[in-house]
């Protein structure tokens, strides 16, 4: 049990780049302000609703969950439609075991294949097949329509820019990335 807790705190530390409180933190937590609490809960509600809407649309129209669509999309954008499994897991925010399961299901459909890495015997590559690209191309218009309806059609250009800047800052991709 202790090892599991330590592994979890190492994963959290890596995920948040060491910016999480430690056990040495003061006893009194820094509670969220009323406005921060409203923002946090709105984010959670929207994130859950968006995930559900996108998954439902893709299941209905393309017979695949959103997670599989993301695997196909990320492979389609990679050089040679190929990525190391470890890189694909990172890009899709999946655990290696969850990604391996998804790739196995996509292999069954003939949409992805696994190849050995040419120089690293331990490494495996995921490759988007022509059939997988066709499935992605067929699914993309409905997916984009669902994203627009759930999110972007409700925002003006200034709000989209503000949202992008907030998310870039929170993921360390923006101008303040690396600071903090």
pLDDT at 172: 74
Give the per-residue pLDDT at 13: 47
Do the beta carbons of residue 159 and residue 58 sit within 8 Å?
Answer: no
How many Cβ atoms are within 10 Å of 15's Cβ, its own excluded?
11
Residues paired with residue 84 on neighbouring β-strands, in sequence order: 125
* C-beta neighbour count of 4 within 10 angstroms: 8
Domain chopping of the chain, boundaries: 64-159
Name the CATH topology of 64-159.
Arc Repressor Mutant, subunit A (1.10.10)
| Distance (Å, whole) CA 98 – CA 85 | 11
Q: What is the mean pLDDT of each run of 10 residues along the chain (180 residues)?
A: 40 52 71 96 96 96 96 97 96 94 97 91 92 98 97 97 93 53
What's CA 52's distance to the chain center, in Å? 14
Q: How far apart are the first and last CA of the chain?
A: 32
Q: Where are the alpha helices (DSSP H) in 22-156?
A: 34-62, 66-77, 85-91, 96-108, 130-150
pTM: 0.76
Please give the structure tokens belonging to residue 145. Answer: 């329509």
- Quick one: 104 exposed, middle or buried, by C-beta within 10 A (0-12, 13-18, 19+)? exposed
């Amino acid at each position: 049990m202790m090892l599991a807790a330590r592994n979890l705190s190492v994963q959290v530390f890596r995920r948040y780049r060491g910016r999480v409180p430690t056990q040495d933190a003061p006893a009194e937590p820094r509670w969220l302000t009323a406005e921060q609490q409203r923002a946090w809960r709105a984010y959670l509600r929207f994130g859950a609703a968006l995930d559900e809407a996108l998954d439902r649309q893709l299941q209905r129209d393309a017979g695949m969950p959103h997670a599989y669509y993301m695997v196909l999309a990320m492979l389609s954008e990679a050089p040679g439609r190929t990525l190391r499994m470890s890189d694909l897991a990172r890009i899709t925010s999946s655990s290696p075991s969850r990604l391996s399961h998804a790739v196995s299901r996509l292999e069954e459909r003939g949409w992805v294949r696994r190849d050995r890495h040419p120089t690293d015997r331990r490494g495996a590559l995921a490759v988007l097949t022509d059939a997988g690209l066709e499935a992605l191309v067929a699914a993309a218009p409905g997916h984009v329509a669902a994203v627009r309806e759930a999110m972007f059609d409700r925002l003006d250009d200034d709000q989209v820019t503000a949202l992008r800047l907030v998310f870039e800052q929170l993921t360390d991709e923006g101008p303040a990335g690396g600071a903090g």
